Structure 1
Amino acid sequence: MAARATLLATLTTKEAEASFLRAAMVQLGVSVKLVDISLHAGASTLDGDEKKRRMAEVAAHIGHDLAGKRAEEIGVVVGIGGGTGGEIVLQVFDALPALHPKILITPLPFDPRPALADKVFIIVPTLVDILGLNDLLRQTLEAAAAVVAGVCNQPVPAPQLAEPMIGLTALGATGVAVASIEAGLRDRGEACAVFHANGFGGAGFARFAEEGAFKAVVDLTCHELNRLLFAGDHVSMKNRFTAAADLPQIVLPGGLNFLGLGPVDTLEPAHSARPHYQHSKQFTHVKVLPEEMAEACEILAGHLNDANSPVHVIVPMGGFSHRDCPSGEIEDEALRILCFEMLVARARHYEVESIPHHINEPPTAQRVLELLKPYL
């Protein structure tokens, strides 16, 4: 692609810094269009609600303008900003295709994980604030310009994939099954995109489902439903269990038997009193209560009944995650039976079957691949 970039900046507060960055990009052969995303509040200070409204308006206007142009015309979309400017840039990013090249240059005054959950972009942390040019910031902006120039030398991803894939959800606790299914699909010449169902990856799964990236999905790891309903880090993803409604779905209750929480020493007393184990130093898996399993199955069944394409549910009665097994810290046959009975009782649109195997045993992956055959 031609070395072209669109630079977003709040020029009322960052004009000198944006101008320096633009000059550094131009020196590297990049043609730059500078776009002002300022709120233009003048001497007044906007309050919270009015500020958020103005930010959304600016982002919507710029996002709509960019989304209406050819990818080659706008090139790499680069944003520079702190708290306010950075948030406006991220809202503009929302209007662009998930894979369009995007770069955010920021001192990171916010957690970027929610924004990264459903779109691809590069973050260049400035470490110092973007407030007045100094040697530290100049060096950072020059490095950022080099990143932009490098990205400009890569082709812009096509708006549509050449061939729709199979979407597959995963966690480490269901990883053996995921690896077997991915390998089986690869042996059949089929591409598979795997999404980490950790409260963030599901947002990407849902976005790509809506953008037509998949021809069928295997939602092997419904664990994120527990995060949305009960506890555990997650981003807002109201469409997590509805985005694939028009696609053939094979669904398993992988990870539906535990809550994915933080370090063990941060657990609330009510959670630490339950059976649990440390998945790693950062993550603790806590067994769900029967009433939590029942509620999750009720919600899941409702979503699956509202689907518009075939849905097949497999309940692996040998265990829903790697430590839901004999001698496992959160093993519970009663929870598995409850899950199966609830899903059977509420099935209207979808089919349900139980198999005697653990979710990570080879026959489970084999059954998934058998059910996928008509859609490959």
Structure 2
Amino acid sequence: MGTIALAGTLDTKGPEYAYVKQILEQLGNHVLTINTGVYQPYFQPDIGADQVLATIGSTVSAVQQADRGQATTLLADGFAKLLPELYRQKRFDGVLCFGGSGGTSVLTPGMRELPIGVPKLMVSTVASGDTSVYVGTSDIIMMPSIVDVSGLNKLSKVIFDNAAAAISGLVNTKFDQEVDTKPLIGASMFGVTTPAVDHARELLQDKGYETLVFHATGTGGRTLEHLVKNDYFVGVLDLTTTEMADELVGGVLSAGPQRLEAAVAAGLPEVVCPGALDMVNFGPFETVPKQFSNRKLFKHNPTVTLMRTTVSENQELGRRMAAKLNQAIAPVTVMIPTKGFSKIDALGQPFYGPDEDLAFTNSLKQTLTNKLIEVRELPNNIDDPAFSSACVTELLRLIAVRTKA
């Protein structure tokens, strides 16, 4: 049977952790207990808070004397450094944690540092709300605790029993799977660029590559960047960079200011396109900020409203993309479809805007200074098969150049 890391504050929630430890052992698991509490623990853990904090050069006494915010940060930083190191040492196969908002904030940063696929379950009082701040770009499973996780009662025992059974099942259930050795390509997609990415994926598959596609919803872009940093890909087809428009204008699908930086920093073969930069994303029509009431808006569906980017916004997007690409340490190609950046930025469609698109292109070329960056303009809409074919051909060329180097 597998080993499960059981981590949390064994001083204030010791009885609960002792109960869960017993259940896990009854299910046949080995348990590695890690204490992130800084007072006398309920039972002796395998790894104490002093070891957690030593990873960042801090001590239990320092945390005891700090205010709550600083103490939480120190414990989270220490746990985030220790947990992946323990996994690299093969000390556990999966991790189970539980807590309130404070405990969740301390424990999930470490869980996020574990590789994708390692079972990680967080039982939390905040699991029924917006969990993006806790899950980030990882595959943490958030399980609502229903009641406060402080104390054992008829209902909390049911939740803890289910959590123990769930992590035990995740750790100990193995499937016979063929090992897929195909090299991976990371690609970005949106509804209005789906035909392009689907076609590119088929072409790459024919050439022996597997494509992992990330929906450009903010989380998707951050996940793509995260996996690039962790060496998952041999190349990136960043066909849909629309999250940069949301970051600039204040839309709801920003991937943050680091978008488009990971592959550049890693020197990965990369093709970049201005996919869906013709739009900024908001929620239902009535939620669009009032300052945009006179802008060109399009109801994509009942929960998504799109806003056409302007000439000045596209000029700034061109400058921002160029500034990021200027940091490249290996060749990158920017492919620009001159007949529209999305399905609805085509002749006769609601966001067709050649002036806005040209503003992006001119600004990009004027700001680029890195001779490793090549810009190609093709007389297609982004969803034309000819354009996606050209993007794939160029990406494969860049991969071949790197392979020979």
Q: TM-score with structure 1 length normalisation?
A: 0.91
1:122-133 counterparts in 2 under 5 A?
Answer: 122-133=141-152
What SS does the corresponding residue of 1:318 show, helix, strand or coil?
A: coil
What is the aligned partner in structure 1 of residue 220 from structure 2? 201
Where do 5+ consecutive residues of structure 2 fail to align? 42-62, 401-405
What is the aligned partner in structure 2 of residue 362 from structure 1? 385
1:219-258 counterparts in 2 under 5 A?
Answer: 219-234=238-253, 237-245=256-264, 246-258=267-279
Name the CA distance, whole Å, in 1 between partners of 2:284 and 2:71.
Answer: 39
Name the CA distance, whole Å, in 1 between partners of 2:193 and 2:27.
Answer: 46
What SS does the corresponding residue of 2:11 show, helix, strand or coil?
A: helix
Name the CA distance, whole Å, in 1 between partners of 2:114 and 2:254.
Answer: 19
Deviations 1:94-144 (A, max 9, x none): 333344321111122652123333212212222222132222221111111
Name the CA distance, whole Å, in 1 between partners of 2:202 and 2:40.
Answer: 56
Contact 1:117 1:201 in 2 (8 A): no
Distance 1:92 1:235, change over 3 A: farther
What SS does the corresponding residue of 2:91 show, helix, strand or coil?
A: helix
| Residues 1:102 and 2:125 aligned together | no
1:66-215 counterparts in 2 under 5 A?
Answer: 66-71=83-88, 72-108=90-126, 111-154=130-173, 164-215=183-234
Amino acid at match of 2:199: S
What is the aligned partner in structure 2 of residue 293 from structure 1? 314
Distance 1:98 1:136, change over 3 A: same
Amino acid at match of 2:108: L
Percent identity between matched residues is 26
| Residues 1:352 and 2:371 aligned together | no
What SS does the corresponding residue of 1:253 show, helix, strand or coil?
A: strand
Higher deviation after alignment, 311-320 or 265-274:
265-274
Distance 1:203 1:40, change over 3 A: farther
Q: Of 288, 311, 317, which residue of structure 2 is paired with 1:267?
A: 288
Structure 1 position 284, deviation (Å): 0.9
Name the CA distance, whole Å, in 2 between partners of 1:203 and 1:368.
Answer: 22
Name the CA distance, whole Å, in 2 between partners of 1:341 and 1:235.
Answer: 24
Name the CA distance, whole Å, in 2 between partners of 1:318 and 1:234.
Answer: 24
Name the CA distance, whole Å, in 1 between partners of 2:255 and 2:272.
Answer: 21
Structure 1 position 326, deviation (Å): 2.6
Structure 1 position 277, deviation (Å): 1.3
Name the CA distance, whole Å, in 1 between partners of 2:32 and 2:143.
Answer: 20
Structure 1 position 307, deviation (Å): 0.6
Contact 1:39 1:54 in 2 (8 A): no
What SS does the corresponding residue of 2:32 show, helix, strand or coil?
A: strand
Contact 2:282 2:305 in 1 (8 A): yes
Question: Could you say what the CA RMSD is over the residues aligned between the two structures, in angstroms?
Answer: 2.4
What is the aligned partner in structure 2 of residue 307 from structure 1? 328
Structure 1 position 318, deviation (Å): 1.6
Q: TM-score with structure 2 length normalisation?
A: 0.84
Contact 2:189 2:215 in 1 (8 A): yes
Distance 1:296 1:213, change over 3 A: same
Distance 1:212 1:155, change over 3 A: farther
Name the CA distance, whole Å, in 1 between partners of 2:346 and 2:237.
Answer: 22
Instruction: Flag the structure with more relative contact order, 1 or 2, with Cα contacts below 8 A and sequence separation at least 6.
Output: 1
Higher deviation after alignment, 282-291 or 320-329:
320-329
Amino acid at match of 1:103: L
What is the aligned partner in structure 2 of residue 371 from structure 1? 394
Amino acid at match of 1:286: M
Where do 5+ consecutive residues of structure 1 fail to align? none
Amino acid at match of 1:132: G
